[in-house]
Amino acid sequence: MATRRQARQKSLLQILALVIAVVIVVVAAVLVQNWWNDRPGPDPREVALTGSVGGESVKVSPYLVCEPGEECPEGEVPNLPVGEDDTLVLELPESVADHDWQLLMIYDDPAANDQQLHGPNDTDRVEIPGSVDPVGESTERPRLQVVEVSSVMIGDNDAGEETPFATVWSLSTLEQ
């Protein structure tokens, strides 16, 4: 049978082992959190949105990517026809949806054009009608022509330094 002194030593050892385990878990959690927060995001030039109508979808790569104040070379604008009664669904990756971004919808009647501003983690999916109700005295429903998403993303410049990039994704919705 263990003496009182041995029982006390055993209890102290158990408490010490528990304290050491807690310290190890806390240190590991802090290290993982620091790594998670400091990991580099994707290159803005490689981030793609997905546009879909019915069963057809298309990847939308950035149309413009440049540092503020720099001249932006224009990229390709993909086309995904959206009918008058269709709905375009845009899905944004987390690297865009987790900070401020804006959506510009351009219709064939400039009075129907619309812009939406979204905050961080507001949404990662938007539905855009192929046509909207007539504006003013017109009786024709304005048809969607172009959709643009814009955001400021962080990437590496030519010198390897982190810098903001103005990034714009553009999608044509016209029948060709």
Domain boundaries, the chain: 1-39, 44-172
Per-residue pLDDT tens digits for 17-46 = 999 999 999 999 998 888 777 766 788 999
Per-residue pLDDT tens digits for 46-69 = 999 999 998 899 999 999 999 988
Per-residue pLDDT tens digits for 160-169 = 888 899 999 9
Where on the phi/psi map is residue 160: left (φ > 0), alpha (ψ -120 to 50), or beta? left
Tokens of 38: 């400091």
Write down the mean pLDDT value for the chain.
90
Q: What is the pTM of this model?
A: 0.77
- Cβ neighbours of residue 3 under 8 Å, at least 6 residues apart? none
Contact criterion met (CB below 8 Å) for 45 and 65? yes
**pLDDT exceeds 70 at position 157:** yes
